[in-house]
Structure 1
Amino acid sequence: MQTPTHDEAIASTREWLEKAVIGLNLCPFAKSVYVKNQVRFVVSDATEPAQLAEELAKELRLLADSSPEEIDTTLLIHPYVLQRFLDFNEFQDIADAIVEELELDGVLQVASFHPKFQFGGTGVNDIGNYTNRSPWPTQHLIREASIDRAVEAFPEAEAIFERNIDTVTKLGVEGWQALFAPKH
């Protein structure tokens, strides 16, 4: 995997968000905040997990202190650290601890996306893993209030995961790759 510039990391993350997350409706709540420009895209220069933890804390505070109309959610893209999925997955415990330490538990949460994302009990190449595969390791900072509002609007939110697995299974690996193939 080559090292991207900030602009390249944001561009490929936007493309993933538009074509997969919104385009395949993997998250029925993403489109409204995206079209209203309420998604903050931040690229971290961190090369060590400790640096990323500091930046994550800074971004969590910024999101908590911002109006939801300005910033509803943040994608903290970190292409220079936690490239190995197991290291990235372990970092989630640190991310959760930071949320608690900042007393933002119940206010914000951190979801994770990674190019090699793998759900427990699945094989590396299991198509279901693609529901959480992003171009770069990414921490998604989400407001709990936004999740609550979205769940009210989409009462069967627990069915989203299963529907997403069905969507990517029907698409297949080739179909997923075709989403991002350059158009000639």
Structure 2
Amino acid sequence: MTVSPDPLAAARAWVETFVVARDVCPFAGREVSRGSVRYVAVSASDREAALLSLFDECRHLEATPEVETTLLVLTEGLEAFDDYLDLLEIAEALLADQGYEGTFQLASFHPDYVFADAEPEDPANFTNRSPWPMWHLLREAGLERALSHHPDPEGIPARNIDAMRELGHATLAHELAELKGSA
């Protein structure tokens, strides 16, 4: 496993060694092999600038069809999960307000991600835990295309939850810490 304190290197390693290798997203491997995943470091210490970066990426995706998706790695300012969720809510509302609803979808990842109905130590949370806070900007059309070719898209979340619980919290926490370079 790659160990790196560099946020972009950690994000790439997480995508390759966790998301793709564990098949958490059955569509990610294709995009990684095609080189169509863009990684961008964004400081969120200035929230307005971070939101503007999100819209810069929307425009970049509109102008660059060979890039399927962007991971915005939020390098500072959103270490607290509640702060992250607050800004995520604003980002999602602004995407809709700016007419991007139905064009782009925003998936969310954070080192301390906890689903609303889960306990913090539930390994299922690792389906959305990453070495750094991230916004994953996806093209809706590409996602719909991928889902239409998958034999059981509705079963993906349950399969992932089962896989994470089988691995266990300690193993997953160790792997995530290694990816961030703090193990």
Q: TM over 0.5, yes or no?
A: yes
Query: 8 Å contact 1:60–1:99 — kept in the other structure?
Result: no
Per the TM alignment, residue 153 of structure 1 is displaced from its structure 2 partner at its CA by 1.0
Q: Mind listing any 5+ residue stretches in structure 2 that lack a counterpart?
A: none
> Is 1:159 equivalent to 2:158 in the alignment?
no
Whole-angstrom CA distance in 1 between matches of 2:52 and 2:98: 12
> Is 1:75 equivalent to 2:75 in the alignment?
no
> Is 1:18 equivalent to 2:16 in the alignment?
yes
Match of 2:82 in 1: 86
Match of 1:115 in 2: 111
Match of 1:34 in 2: 32
Per the TM alignment, residue 177 of structure 1 is displaced from its structure 2 partner at its CA by 4.2
Match of 1:143 in 2: 139
Distance 1:179 1:116, change over 3 A: closer
Decide which of 85, 97, 102 is 1:101's aligned counterpart. 97
- 3-state SS of the aligned residue for 1:112? strand
TM-score, normalised via structure 2 length: 0.89
Higher relative contact order (CA 8 A, sep 6+): 2
Query: 8 Å contact 2:107–2:138 — kept in the other structure?
Result: yes
Distance 1:61 1:102, change over 3 A: farther
Instruction: For residues 10-35 of structure 1, give each alpha carbon's deviation from its aligned partner in whole angstroms, at most 9, with x where no partner exists.
Output: 11111111111101100000000011
Whole-angstrom CA distance in 1 between matches of 2:170 and 2:44: 33
User: 162-171 or 149-158, which moves further after superposition?
Assistant: 149-158
Stretches (4+) displaced over 6 A: none
Per the TM alignment, residue 178 of structure 1 is displaced from its structure 2 partner at its CA by 5.2
- 3-state SS of the aligned residue for 1:161? helix
Per the TM alignment, residue 155 of structure 1 is displaced from its structure 2 partner at its CA by 3.6
Q: How many residues align?
A: 175
- 3-state SS of the aligned residue for 2:25? coil
Query: 8 Å contact 1:39–1:74 — kept in the other structure?
Result: yes
Per the TM alignment, residue 66 of structure 1 is displaced from its structure 2 partner at its CA by 1.7
Per the TM alignment, residue 88 of structure 1 is displaced from its structure 2 partner at its CA by 0.8
Q: In structure 2, give the amino acid aligned to 1:97.
A: A
Q: CA RMSD in A?
A: 1.7
Query: 8 Å contact 2:123–2:172 — kept in the other structure?
Result: no
Sequence identity (%): 35
Per the TM alignment, residue 123 of structure 1 is displaced from its structure 2 partner at its CA by 1.3
